Amino acid sequence: MVRSTMPPGASFWWITLPLLVNTLLFSAVIAVINSVQVFEPVALITQGGPVNATNVVTYHIRRVGIERAQGGLGSAMAVMLMLSLIVCVSALFSLVNRRDSE
C-alpha cells in the first residue's frame, strides 16, 4: 500500500482548488453581474421600499433618470456603474491570471 507524503488537507490546496479556479471565476463573475440586475423585484414589489430600505443602484438610476427627468445624471450614474463592474470583473480575472502564472 502506497501512502501519500502530503499532510492532511494539502490535497485540497494543491490539487482540488487549482482545478476549480476557472469554475469559481465564472461563478464569481456571474454573481457580480446578477447582483446588479435586481431591478425587477424592487420595481414591482416595493418601489424602493419604506424610506428607501430596498432601494438598489439600478432602481435609483431609473428614478433619477426618468422620474426626476435628469437624464444626464442618470446616464452618468449608469456609466459609473458599468465602469465599476468592469473594474471588479477585471480584478477577478487578474487575480486568477496571477495565480496561474506562479
Could you report the per-residue pLDDT of 49-75, keeping only the tens digit for each?
788 788 888 888 888 998 889 889 999
Q: Is the model's pLDDT at 98 over the cut of 90?
A: no
| H or E element in which residue 79 lies | helix 71-101
Looking at residues 36-56, what average pLDDT do you find? 82
Residue 7 DSSP class? P
First to last CA, the chain: 33
**How is the chain split into domains, by residue range?**
28-101
* Dist. CA 6–CA 24, nearest whole Å: 24
* Dist. CA 88–CA 45, nearest whole Å: 29
- State the cell numbers at 71: 437624464
At 102, the pLDDT band (50, 70, 90 cuts) reads low
- CB contact at 8 A, 74 and 65: yes
Q: What is the pLDDT, as a whole number, of residue 79?
A: 94
* Dist. CA 93–CA 102, nearest whole Å: 15
- State the cell numbers at 3: 501512502
